[in-house]
Amino acid sequence: MPRLQQEKALHRIVVKLGTNVIMRPDGKVALGLLCGLVEQIAALRAQGIEVLVVSSGAVGLGMERLGLLERPTVVAQVQACAAIGQSRLMALYDAAFDRLGCPIAQVLLTEDDFRDPTRHTNLRATLDALLTMGVIPIVNENDTVSTIELDRPTESRQRERIFGDNDKLSALLVKHIGADLLVLLSDVDGLYDRNPTEPGATVLGSVDVIDERILGLADGRNGRGRGGMISKLESARIVLHAGKQVIIANGRTPQVLERIVAGEPIGTHFAPVQERAAR
């Protein structure tokens, strides 16, 4: 059975680019890799597939501009890094996509954009309009004004968290804008059957159910990003229960997006609940 279920052609996908895809280990921008992914997204758009990009990297770019080697611990300083880095991030995307004749738009979101019915309706209408006009939305969490994911512990009961990182944000976008597929790109090849550093560790080609055993395979955070595999699995579960597909893959894999859309077995594929029931 093909890894990517395509009973109908893909119409709209969400691609999430993690910080460890945007940034090199030395804290500099992975410019060649980023431009390669931009070319793939432009190619998908030329095929008639609508693509929304959820991009991390603003804080990392701000840190790089300020010459910081470690992420600040003071929330206001992290927000300042986000404010500095977000403009740099958009400048990179604008220059890369403009070379290919693709217009882009910046969309910064907070939890209230999903909580408030009016704001949610307006968000959906705006994104639909952008995609209809052939524009590629570049979405990020508005860290400059939203601090819940920066300074509030996960176990806090003061307010139920809708999302605290861009993995969850991308999952909610898939659910609320009617996308067919979520692709989570990081610096790992997928979900491993054990700690990737252990001998013999292999990538799981597909996952049927995200249960406690699967969650137990997640190995904590990864590099500069706020997420990690556990966040990706929780996000995948949101998407699966919405009846959509998820693929976790390595953003450094050559032509990764075009190969995924073509149905090649890359990364770890998560099938929607109703597809499993049908099978």
Q: Give the closest residue to 146 by CA, choosing from 82, 61, 62, 227.
A: 82
pLDDT digits (tens, 9 = 90+) for 9-54: 799 999 999 998 999 988 889 999 999 999 999 999 999 999 999 9
37, two tokens: 């992914």
Q: Is pTM, for the whole model, over 0.85? A: yes
How many of the other CB atoms lie within 10 Å of CB of 216?
A: 10
143-173 burial, b at 16+ Cβ within 10 Å, e below that, comes to bbebebbbeeeeeeeeeeebbbbbbbbbbbb
Taking a C-beta distance cutoff of 8 angstroms, is the pair 106, 64 a contact? Answer: no
233-262 burial, b at 16+ Cβ within 10 Å, e below that, comes to bbbbbbbbebebbbbbbbbbeeebbebbbe
Query: Quick one: CATH architecture of 12-278?
Result: 3-Layer(aba) Sandwich (3.40)
Q: Where are the domains of the chain?
A: 12-278
pLDDT digits (tens, 9 = 90+) for 248-273: 999 999 999 999 999 999 999 998 86
